[in-house]
Amino acid sequence: MTAESEQKSDQVISIENLSLTFQTSDAPVHALADIDLQVEQGAFVSLIGPSGCGKTTLLRVIADLETPTSGAISVNGVTPHEARLQRAYGYVFQAASLYPWRNIAKNVALPLEIMSLPKAERERRIKANLELVDLAGFEKKYPWQLSGGMQQRASIARALAVEPALLLMDEPFGALDEIVRDHLNEQLLQLWAKTSKTVVFVTHSIPEAVFLSTHIVVMSPRPGRIHEIIVNDLPAERTLDVRETPEFLQIANRVRAGLRASHSYDDIT
Amino acid sequence: MKSLRGALVLIATVAAAIALIAGLWIGPLISVAAFIALFVSCQCGFSLLRTDPMDANSSVVWQDRAIVIAMLSFGTVFGSYVLLHQLGIFESADSPEPGFAFYSLVVSIWALGWLLVEWLADIDSRRGFVRRILGVVIPVLFGAGLLMLWEVLTRALDVPQVLLPSPSAIAERFGNSLSVLWADFKQTFLKAVLIGYAMGCGSGFLIAILIDRSPFLQRGLLPVGNLVSALPIVGIAPIMVMWFGFDWPSKAAVVVVMTFFPMLVNTISGLAASDHMQLDLMKTYAANYWQNLFKLRLPQAAPFIFNALKINSTLALIGAIVAEFFGTPIVGMGFRISTEVGRMNVDMVWAEIAVAAVAGSCFYGLIALIERMLTFWHPSVRSGR
């Protein structure tokens, strides 16, 4: 997670001195300024910060949904554009964004159809990934017949079906209630441990960030920049109970202190 | 709703009582019908007084309802039969004019018919097939009641045929001119409307996709489309006759002009209906233009496109019929309407109107049915399932 290790082959994402300015009609908005970030293979990196700190924009730059104004970025050793065309990542949005005219199985099949995979392989991946997110038996249901949590799980299965080594998640559980959220957090952690994927996870919840991540990137707004990168040394095997331990609370306090020090804490309370 | 029913019961009862008294001098049939109407309306009144809205679903209430509906059905059907029978008598030579008793009975039967529909509409069944049957029966009863009233009033009041022929006269004319009506239908609907509709909707759809792809066309073609939609049909119809001749192609051309623009505008807004997140999702899959179009944007546009198809189904029929007023071979629904009006054969005009109404409704209904099947996922359809 340091800037000088860019040549190492296990860097999945390498960002150097990256800035992004949106030109608006009145004044330019500095969404991202001087971002340096290295993400190693197998890391679980959370981007945390108040609204408007550029955490979603940073994720969208990695996904080639936004183009940076200056600086260098590589994903899997190539530009984000090439990485996108190679389908190097799976992206989970804030909302499930399932297509209502497709049933759950067909929604998971959508990226696979676009990749023109053979039918047998599609079927295999649909089955495997729906089982992974606990949705086996809901293949024929339509999105509007499922609860919000189930829809979001289906959208995670859809992202996983691409079988990407890199998973980009933009506040995927933001719209869900706390109970469902806890449950999905636990499932996500198990999934990450099982598949050794690299995950970049945007959140504005401190407990969620501490519970899930190996690295927590604290960001501050106006302009969006990285304030601090906290390495989370909690054991990799975590259950929800870990949130009661002093070690957990200590890291949570460091994150909170980081957010406060970046003069942005007032904005998120 | 109870006060409306109370008023209807009161009207039916009073009118039946008057008919009963006045009918004693006219004939036994009117008296019998009036007596039955009186009896049935009184039963309805008692039922209204008995029913407590708090226990609307108890079996007693259900039984009560069933009896009332059965009696109302019998009363209205028998009463209608008597009214029609009496009309036949009035129309034969040296017979009395329809009098006070007759019109009172009409009012009474009309009120009973309304009450019957009210009572039927009250059935709130959870069973799907009962609801579906009611969905057919109630409008059919309503329409039949309207036709009945139209028949009785036009014949009893001797309305001149040029103003408003009775339904039976129209039906008779309809039955006697089936071959002519079929030829007109073939010429206007099967040729001009369907072909013009397919070409207008098809070209509107394709050009919408082109416009969506190219900003240049968006600036150039959309204003032209706007202009075309503002052209008055009575202006373009003669011009199309000059261009494409007297036969159906000129009518189809008018239909194309009328249906093109609604399809164009609706498809363009439909293609813009996909939200950012859905488009970003397709981008993360590195989907190409056609995959994006067929897997996201067209399904998302389907409700808009069907909207245009439905609007156009009625526009096309109007366009083809009106276009035939401006030069046509001696066949076609519009031609027939314009010439038969000139010959004061208003019953034939009404027969053509009936053909147009049935054809237009079936056309619209067919498209609505396909829409329900294809856009089952849309909230507007979903709630109905």
**CB distance A10 to A41 below 8 Å:** yes
Are residues A95 and B277, on separate chains, in Cβ contact within 8 Å? yes
B7 class by beta-carbon count within 10 Å (0-12 exposed, 13-18 middle, 19+ buried): exposed
Are residues B283 and A65, on separate chains, in Cβ contact within 8 Å? yes
What structural domains does chain A harbor? 3-88+168-268 (3.40.50.300), 99-163 (no CATH)
Q: Residues 6 or more apart from B64 whose CB is under 8 A from it?
A: B47, B50, B51
Q: What per-residue confidence (pLDDT) applies to B35?
A: 87
Q: What per-residue confidence (pLDDT) applies to B337?
A: 92
Are residues A101 and B377, on separate chains, in Cβ contact within 8 Å? yes
Separation between Cα atoms, residue B190 and residue B203, nearest integer Å: 19
Q: What per-residue confidence (pLDDT) applies to A3?
A: 44
| The two three-digit tokens of residue B58, written as one number | 């108890």
Q: What per-residue confidence (pLDDT) applies to B181?
A: 92
Residue pLDDT, tens place only, B233-263: 888 888 888 899 888 899 999 999 999 989 9
**CB distance A108 to A134 below 8 Å:** no
Interface of B with A (CB under 8 A): 277-278, 280-287, 291, 295-296, 299, 302, 375-379, 382
Q: What per-residue confidence (pLDDT) applies to B301?
A: 92
Q: What is the pLDDT along chain A (269 residues), one digit of tens a residue?
A: 444 444 445 788 888 888 888 888 787 887 888 888 888 888 889 998 887 788 888 888 888 888 888 888 888 888 888 888 888 888 988 888 899 999 999 999 999 988 888 889 889 989 988 887 888 889 889 998 888 888 988 998 898 888 888 889 988 888 778 887 888 888 888 888 887 888 999 988 888 888 888 888 888 887 888 888 888 877 777 777 777 788 888 888 888 888 887 764 454 44
**Which positions in chain A touch B377 (Cβ < 8 Å)?**
100-101, 142, 144
Q: What per-residue confidence (pLDDT) applies to A1?
A: 45
Picking from A90, A94, A144, the nearest residue to B382 by CB comes out as A144
Residue numbers of chain B with a pLDDT score lower than 70: 1, 51-60, 93-96, 125, 383-385
Are residues B285 and A162, on separate chains, in Cβ contact within 8 Å? yes
| The two three-digit tokens of residue B236, written as one number | 């373009």
B28 class by beta-carbon count within 10 Å (0-12 exposed, 13-18 middle, 19+ buried): exposed
Mutation for B interface: A60, A108, A114, most B CBs within 10 A: A114
Q: What per-residue confidence (pLDDT) applies to B306?
A: 94
**CB distance A126 to A105 below 8 Å:** yes
The residue among A79, A68, A74 whose CA lies nearest residue A22 is A68
